[in-house]
Structure 1
Amino acid sequence: MNLHHLRLFRAVAADGTLTGAARRLNLSQSALSTQIKALEASLGHDLFERRGRNLVLTEAGRIALDHADAIFRTAEDLAAVMRETGNARRALRVGALATLSRNFQMEFLRPLVGRREVEVILRSGSQAELLRELDSLALDVVLTNLAPPREAETPWLVHQIGEQPVSLIGTPRRVGTRDMQSLLREEALVLPAKDSALRSAFDALMARYAVTPHIAAEADDMAMLRLLAREDAGLAVIPPIVVRDELTSGLLAEVAQLDGIREHFLAVTRERRFPNPVLAELLSRA
């Protein structure tokens, strides 16, 4: 068995046809078929079965693909480490959920600010996009407030790196001198989106208070919740860290923390043979 055969096998498994895989690999279909048969002979098992025009993995094929993926992932990991070896600077590739508080991201990365030997590469995106890049080793870590699904086959390591209280926050004019329950009954509210953990916890709190809130706006983006609060669209349900500057300046005022509601911040990594030492340092500080 050789790695070239495994690479061709992965291509056929991904495409599902010899014709399509051969086209992408710039090989003739007959040459590709010969290579796959040689791999099957060396393993002693058929890796594909034909269904119509498609090739479907056999049970042995699925096992072989899992191992092949692990082999090439380790090779990519090693290549990434070797590219960094001997360089005066190390890169840390960070993905952050697009809706995550920028203030929190800065708090996590603050220990690296000003360090000339470290280059931080940041990108934002959806959870699904970022996890795909983490899985392919294009990212070292994903910062999020959404725990990824924990299933037997997932490689994710989830580190809780912080939590923040969630408060009722608004402009001083809107807040006035009323108590929190009066404000919740009487004022328009700016809330996290319905599919968020924060919103579920807030809705449960309203049920306990027997309050039907007047919803002025909903958003799944902390930056948008911050802007809506600044524009006095209503009282916002938001972690104070998101509007720290506005609270300090007096532009916004915190009514009170909401009982039992907290925002959890997570760093998601994957198992790696050669972990990034800069990331290990950050996680040890969190």
Structure 2
Amino acid sequence: MNYKQLSYFWAVAKAGSLVKASEQLGVTPQTLSGQISLLEAELNVTLFKRVGRGLELTDSGRIALPYAESIFETGSMLEETLRHQPKKRPRVFNVGIAEFVPKSIAYHLLSAAMSLENPIRIVCREDNFETLLAQLAIHKLDIVLADRPMPSEVNITGISYKLGESGTSFFAKAELALKYPGQFPERLHRAPMLVMGEDSLIQRQLMRWLNEQHITPNIVGEFDDSALMKAFGMAGIGFFTASSVIAHEIEQEYGVIKIAETDEFTQQFYAISVPKRANHPAVVAVNESADKLFLFNKTPASTSL
């Protein structure tokens, strides 16, 4: 179907005559009549019948008119929408957050992207490390925030940037801390403790370090979600650890106290992206915000893996 011919039919039907429609459209009546005849031949129907000096719709014309009106109303809506759409549409920034990365650290790293001159819409996905790398490989993600670099055995051409590292602080509800007085780390011996899941690097580092100190805590909870672990800590269920860079925030948010801090084992944080996404303005912003959070000079940890 020729939609220009359909528009001529619609204009004539609304105007009621060829002459009025031709004046509105700026074409001759002969042109309108010829184009409508071609449309009638294409559809194998008669759309108008002459009554006196005017035109009336046939039964076929009355059936066709609502369809034509719907088509051109939709076209007008499309034109209006495109004319008034925002000049700067937000650029989507797809972020994968590995399950053992603390939410508050992820927020600090990502918040800078929201202040860019060109608007950004962040889409965050939390999952296990392997699943996020697979999504990065097929370009469903622009960046992955993780507690480890991309493994060398992974067949993905990518870049792992070390954003920074942090010492580890120990926290507890004040009432619980009073029940286990003494020097650190000896006071943790047989004390109730909350730890991250067994797949997290920080849990393995913590248990290895405690073993070296001949400290055996009473593990009362194990969590994949650090926020849930902190919530249990806030309830006074057990001692727990977190990155020292957010220690003050944890004390304020969860109503706990920091009982000790150590740099003998640290938490590390990485941004992983593929070369095609490395220059995304939000990826650059994440790397720059890490300088302020960790005061750490970033260098590529692994490339072309």
**Same structural fold, with TM-score higher than 0.5 when normalized by the shorter chain:** yes
Structure 1 residues 214 and 137: alpha-carbon distance in aligned structure 2, compared to 1, 3 A threshold: same
Q: Is the 8 A contact 1:225 1:238 kept in 2?
A: no
Compared with structure 1, are the counterparts of its residues 209 and 121 closer, same or farther at alpha carbon in structure 2 (3 Å cutoff)?
same
1:175 to 170, 174, 177: 177
1:238 paired residue among 242, 253, 276: 242
Q: Which residue of 1 aligns with 2:296?
A: none
- Structure 1 gap ranges (5+): 1-85
Does 2:222 correspond to 1:221?
A: no
Partner of 2:113: 112
Q: 2:136–2:144: 8 Å Cα contact kept in structure 1?
A: yes
RMSD: 2.5
Shift of 1:100: 2.1
Helix, strand or coil at the partner of 2:189: helix
Asked whether 1:130 is paired with 2:147, we answer: no
Taking only the aligned residue pairs, the percentage that are identical comes to 17
- For the pair shown, which has the larger CA radius of gyration, 1 or 2? 2
- Asked if the contact 1:166–1:240 (Cα under 8 Å) also holds between the matched residues in 2, the reply is yes
TM-score by length of 2: 0.59
| Superimposed CA distance per residue, residues 75-115 of structure 1 (whole angstroms, 9 cap, x where no aligned partner) | xxxxxxxxxxx954322111112342110111001212354
Counterpart residue number, 2:193: 189
1:4-42 alpha-carbon deviations (Å, 9 max, x no partner)? xxxxxxxxxxxxxxxxxxxxxxxxxxxxxxxxxxxxxxx
* CA 1:175–1:152: 2 relative to 1, 3 Å: closer
Per the alignment, do residues 109 and 250 of structure 1 end up closer, same or farther by CA in structure 2, a change over 3 Å counting? closer
| C-alpha contact (below 8 Å) 2:190/2:216 kept by paired residues | no
Gaps of 5+ in 2: 1-86, 291-305
Distance across 2 between alignment mates of 1:238 and 1:285: 20
Aligned-pair distance for 1:175?
1.4
Q: Distance in 2 between matches of 1:142 and 1:250?
A: 27
CA separation of 1:240/1:189 partners in 2, compared to 1, >3 Å: closer, same or farther? same
Taking structure 1 as the reference length, the TM-score comes to 0.63
Residue correspondences, number: 201
Q: Residue 30 of structure 2 corresponds to which residue in structure 1?
A: none
Q: Which residue of 1 aligns with 2:98?
A: 97
In 2, the alpha carbon distance for the partners of 1:152 and 1:197 equals 18
